[in-house]
Structure 1
Amino acid sequence: MSDVELLAAYLEARRQFVEKKFARDTHRARLAWIRAKMFIGSSGGVTERNMAVDVSEEIARKGQELREMTRDLDLLKVDVDIIAIIIRTRGGPAPTGVQGEDATEGDPEREGP
């Protein structure tokens, strides 16, 4: 693969990564909004409200969709990283913008305490 093709592949993978990350973050925000709306709309104490939100089939389904989106985002991140490694090993300048950015950034389910 020529350097031009490699850079084009890098740019395309990077574009897809950013688009998927935006979609995942938007989906995450919508899910948080639905959880909050359901919590406020429920009756009872805090524990009963949290239980109602936790056992909601709709929220469970949307949570699964969010996990699948995160998995796809992780796979795209791997593609971007591999192409960046190849560019660096060929002696080209290291692509900027990806270092330090992680697909799990801001993901409370996957971050440590």
Structure 2
Amino acid sequence: MTISIEELWNMPEPALLGAYHSARRQFVEQKFARDTQRARLEWLRAKMFIGNSGGVTERKMAVDVSEELARKGQEVREMTRELDLVKVDVDVIAMVIRLRGVSAAASVQGEEPGENDPEREGA
């Protein structure tokens, strides 16, 4: 994320919600891409397992030592790392939104409670 936490904190609410929407959308798009690649990798592994001859152990070994599948597995791991970084951005923006909401609610609660306040009735 290129926006610092201070900038997020001082950002107007519509812009903050827009940043959250953009980050969340990016997260979902990258998650879909990663899950698609992961499914393709599993399909290739299954295809290679079925296509090889020999016993189960030999076919599993052939799948495990495949350089092509290892390369695709590394790509999926890199996509997962990028996805985790986007998720951190989404979480930070959501945290700022919640904290700003809490600070606004706290200023309202700081007023003197009214006569019909349930908290005062129990005291």
Q: Say whether the fold is shared (TM-score over 0.5).
A: yes
Deviation at 1:41, TM superposition (A): 0.4
SS at 2:101's partner residue?
coil
**Fraction of identical pairs, as percent:** 76
Which gives a bigger RCO, structure 1 or 2 (Cα 8 Å, sep 6+)?
2
Q: Which runs of 5+ in 2 are unaligned?
A: 1-10, 103-123
What residue in structure 2 maps to residue 8 of structure 1?
Answer: 18
4+ runs of 1 displaced by more than 2 Å? Answer: none
What residue in structure 1 maps to residue 88 of structure 2?
Answer: 78
TM-score by length of 1: 0.80
What residue in structure 2 maps to residue 45 of structure 1?
Answer: 55
Q: Whose Rg is larger?
A: 2
1:57 aligns with 2:67: yes
Deviations 1:15-72 (A, max 9, x none): 0000000000000000000000000000110000000000000000000000000000
Deviation at 1:9, TM superposition (A): 0.3
What residue in structure 1 maps to residue 99 of structure 2?
Answer: 89
- Hey, which of these two has a bigger chunk of helix by percent? 2
> Which whole-Å CA distance do the structure 2 matches of 1:16 and 1:76 have between them?
7
Q: Which runs of 5+ in 1 are unaligned?
A: 93-113
> Which whole-Å CA distance do the structure 1 matches of 2:51 and 2:101 have between them?
59
TM-score by length of 2: 0.74
* Cα RMSD for the two superposed structures: 0.8
